[in-house]
């Protein structure tokens, strides 16, 4: 313990030194006085008792995305939405100014220990944590060193409502760096990380965890986090191993168990299995949590937290099927909103004047004009911006190279407008084109658009190709070209839906899904029901539903390890079930046995006891009692 304390003291000295001499030289910059620091439920109520939460996502819950998500809520309900920043690396945030300034922008210019605070006359808010439109906001860090975590937290504390510790990241990079969910075996360090912020920060500290192998172990884990000083506990109802093709279902029963066994004043957020708006209330009812957090569901549909419009009040942005059973935000409407937010807040210029979104019954002259104009991507564009052009065999067997042909609807869509509109920005003294290249809001645009348009681009690969070339949002003209294509194709899809009386989707798509559901209605490990319930036309934003592990295995997306193959062979030799049954049982049965064996070999998992000492948590059953959920992702 002494050596650990010495290491911590050394790290504190190092982290402080890395902040630079600016702090020591500060003589005139007024410092913000200590806030009235609230804790637990009192703090939660002070920020409006938010029920809905945008999850922290690496490079994906940045300012512009948070603003887009908020834009779907009525102004008087936006206080119900709490947002987290993307996960930041505490050491890099402390040591590397470029990393810091390219991820968190509460003010213009570099963020240092001497930057103007909100109570300073020199304080001019910019984007992240802006009191006018980006609150409530929690900033999340991953860390394994209390000193670096504290140094990073002190930099952001003036511009947010709380600092969150990531204890849930299951990715390989977290394993290599020993942070996120790979700290859960070191409960002593987790306690120290949280407790350091609890004691030293002017604002509360919160934490996000994953469940462990048993409810009892998860409860001990949660108690340790709360005892360390966490004001809010977010629980992702999946284990560390549940990722990729093994993601499977989140177990809401574990969260309910925590709700029933932790003090009533404990504030709990539930995370996992949120695919659509209706799932929010289902989750709250099933878990008893105070709020519900969404990650992937929000990425697929930023309007997820908003109540759907009433029948007859859909307007131009929301689509509803003819029988009224299905609805969702149109992809062209969501993409428009997103680009307009980028223009207004990031590029700081007025968005282009746009025609109203198309609805059947509108004039279609613009569609005919759009279809009559086209441009070919040049060889230079193919070589410099995209992958090599595909070669197709001609009728005589010789290889010929084809170029992608797309249509445009406005002059803004042409390849010559793929850079910033410098005319509109010429009078903006703040615009720094170089800084825009690394703006977190512009760097994230391409992955966001791929997520939003995931179902759309499977039908329109030419738009996918355009998006693949639009790497950075500073090339805003390319995104205007994409929007033009999306608007035109959505209009055509809506016209086809009307022309066929709805059968272009209701019959051609849904009948297949109904049959899949009927074939697998007694199988708790099938995602067919979720696919059917969440399926929308390609012109509507909708969740990406992963196959459950059993389905991934059957499709070959999930492979057995040598150990699992050996277990399968042994079971088959002993007269086990049929091939399919043996395969599935060997994967998931051996996984459970593997967990038990590891626990017995490593003996016990150290967890802080109720009196501050260490207790031991034995490994129990890893099976879940929540197999009936039809939710697959999120």
Packing angle of the helix pair 2-18, 146-156 (nearest 10 deg): 40
- Is 85 within the bounds of a domain? yes
Q: What b/e sequence results for 602-624 when a residue is b if at least 16 CB atoms lie within 10 Å of its CB, and e otherwise?
A: eeebbbbeeeeeebebebeebeb
Contacts of residue 567, Cβ cutoff 8 Å, sequence gap at least 6: 586, 589, 590, 593
DSSP summary character for residue 347:
I
- The catalytic position among 142, 160, 169, 449 is 169
- Is 615 within the bounds of a domain? no
Question: What pLDDT is recorded for position 511?
Answer: 55
Q: How many CA atoms lie within 13 A of 224 on its CB side?
A: 30
Question: What pLDDT is recorded for position 525?
Answer: 58
Question: What pLDDT is recorded for position 288?
Answer: 98
Question: What pLDDT is recorded for position 603?
Answer: 33
Say yes or no: 128 and 69 in one domain. yes
- The number of angstroms, rounded, from the C-alpha of 275 to the middle of its chain's C-alpha atoms is 13
Say yes or no: 66 and 155 in one domain. yes
Say yes or no: 224 and 336 in one domain. no
169 is catalytic: yes
Phi, psi of 210 (to 5 degrees): -110, 160
- Is 123 within the bounds of a domain? yes
Say yes or no: 288 and 434 in one domain. no
CA dihedral 261, 263, 264, 266 (to 10 degrees): -110
Say yes or no: 118 and 250 in one domain. yes
Q: What is the CATH number of the domain that holds 234?
A: 3.20.20.70
Question: What pLDDT is recorded for position 526?
Answer: 63
**pTM, whole model, 2 decimals?**
0.78
In total, how many domains does the chain have?
Answer: 3
Say yes or no: 265 and 172 in one domain. yes
Say yes or no: 407 and 359 in one domain. yes
Say yes or no: 382 and 430 in one domain. yes
Question: What pLDDT is recorded for position 545?
Answer: 85
Q: How far apart are CA 124 and CA 109, in angstroms?
A: 11
Do 193 and 149 touch, CB atoms closer than 8 A? Answer: yes
Say yes or no: 292 and 355 in one domain. no
Question: What pLDDT is recorded for position 28?
Answer: 39
SS3 267: strand
Say yes or no: 190 and 248 in one domain. yes
Question: What pLDDT is recorded for position 80?
Answer: 83
Which of 297, 322, 347 is where one domain is finished? 297
Question: What pLDDT is recorded for position 567?
Answer: 76
Nearest to 587, CA basis, from 562, 614, 621, 608: 562
Q: Which domain holds residue 51?
A: 41-297
Do 289 and 280 touch, CB atoms closer than 8 A? Answer: no
The residues of the chain scoring below 70 in pLDDT are 1-34, 245-246, 370-431, 506-527, 552-553, 557-558, 575-634
Q: How far apart are CA 531 and CA 254, in angstroms?
A: 25
Question: What pLDDT is recorded for position 584?
Answer: 45
């Amino acid at each position: 313990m002494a050596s650990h304390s010495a290491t911590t003291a050394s790290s504190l000295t190092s982290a402080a030194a890395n902040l630079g001499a600016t702090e020591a030289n500060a003589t005139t910059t007024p410092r913000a006085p200590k806030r009235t620091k609230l804790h637990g439920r009192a703090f939660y109520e002070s920020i409006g008792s938010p029920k809905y939460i945008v999850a922290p996502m690496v490079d994906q819950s940045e300012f512009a995305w948070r603003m887009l998500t908020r834009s779907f809520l009525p102004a008087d309900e936006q206080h119900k939405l709490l947002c987290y920043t993307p996960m930041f690396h505490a050491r890099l945030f402390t040591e590397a100014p470029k990393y810091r300034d390219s991820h968190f922008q509460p003010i213009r210019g570099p963020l240092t220990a001497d930057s103007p605070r909100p109570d300073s006359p020199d304080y001019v808010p910019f984007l992240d944590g802006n009191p006018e439109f980006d609150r409530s906001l929690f900033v999340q860090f991953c860390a394994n060193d209390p000193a670096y975590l504290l140094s990073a937290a002190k930099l952001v504390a003036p511009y947010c409502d709380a600092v969150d510790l990531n204890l849930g990241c299951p990715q390989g990079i977290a394993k290599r760096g020993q942070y996120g969910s790979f700290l859960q075996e070191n409960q002593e360090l987790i306690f120290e990380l949280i407790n350091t912020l609890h004691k030293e920060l002017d604002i509360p500290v919160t934490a996000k965890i994953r469940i462990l192998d048993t409810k009892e172990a998860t409860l001990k884990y949660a108690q340790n986090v709360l005892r360390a000083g966490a004001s809010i506990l977010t629980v992702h109802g999946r284990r560390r191993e549940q990722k990729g093709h093994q993601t499977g279902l989140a177990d809401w029963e574990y969260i309910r168990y925590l709700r029933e066994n932790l003090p009533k004043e404990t504030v709990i957020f539930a995370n996992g299995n949120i695919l659509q708006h209706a799932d929010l209330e289902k989750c709250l009812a099933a878990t008893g949590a105070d709020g519900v957090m969404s990650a992937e569901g929000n990425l697929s549909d930023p309007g997820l937290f908003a109540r759907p419009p009433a029948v007859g009040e859909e307007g131009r942005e929301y689509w509803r099927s003819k029988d009224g059973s299905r609805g969702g935000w149109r992809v062209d409407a969501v993409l428009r909103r997103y680009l307009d937010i980028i223009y207004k807040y990031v590029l700081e210029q007025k968005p282009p004047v746009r025609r109203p979104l198309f609805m059947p019954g509108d004039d279609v002259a613009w569609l005919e004009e759009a279809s009559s104009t086209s441009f070919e991507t040049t060889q230079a564009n193919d070589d410099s911006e995209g992958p090599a052009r595909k070669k197709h065999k001609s009728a005589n067997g010789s290889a010929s190279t084809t170029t992608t042909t797309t249509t445009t609807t406005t002059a803004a869509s042409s390849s010559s407008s793929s850079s910033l509109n410098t005319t509109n920005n010429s009078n903006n003294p703040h615009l720094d084109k170089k800084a825009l290249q690394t703006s977190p809001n512009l760097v994230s645009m391409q992955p966001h658009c791929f997520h939003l348009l995931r179902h759309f681009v499977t039908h329109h690969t030419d738009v996918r190709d355009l998006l693949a070339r639009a790497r950075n949002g500073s090339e805003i003209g390319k995104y205007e070209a994409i929007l033009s294509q999306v608007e035109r194709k959505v209009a055509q899809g809506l016209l086809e839906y009307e022309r066929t009386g709805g059968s272009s989707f209701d019959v051609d798509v849904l009948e297949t899904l109904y049959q899949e559901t009927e074939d697998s209605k007694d199988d708790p490990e099938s995602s067919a029901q979720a696919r059917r319930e969440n399926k929308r036309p390609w012109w509507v934003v909708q969740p990406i539903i992963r196959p459950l592990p059993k389905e991934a295995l059957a499709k070959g997306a999930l492979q057995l390890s040598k150990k699992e193959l050996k277990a399968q062979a042994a079971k088959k030799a002993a007269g086990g079930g049929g091939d399919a049954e043996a395969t599935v049982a060997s994967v998931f049965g051996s996984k459970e046995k593997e967990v038990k064996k590891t626990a017995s070999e490593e003996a016990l998992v150290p967890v802080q006891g109720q009196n501050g000492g260490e207790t031991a948590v034995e490994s129990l059953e890893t099976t879940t009692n929540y197999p009936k959920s039809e939710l697959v992702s999120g």
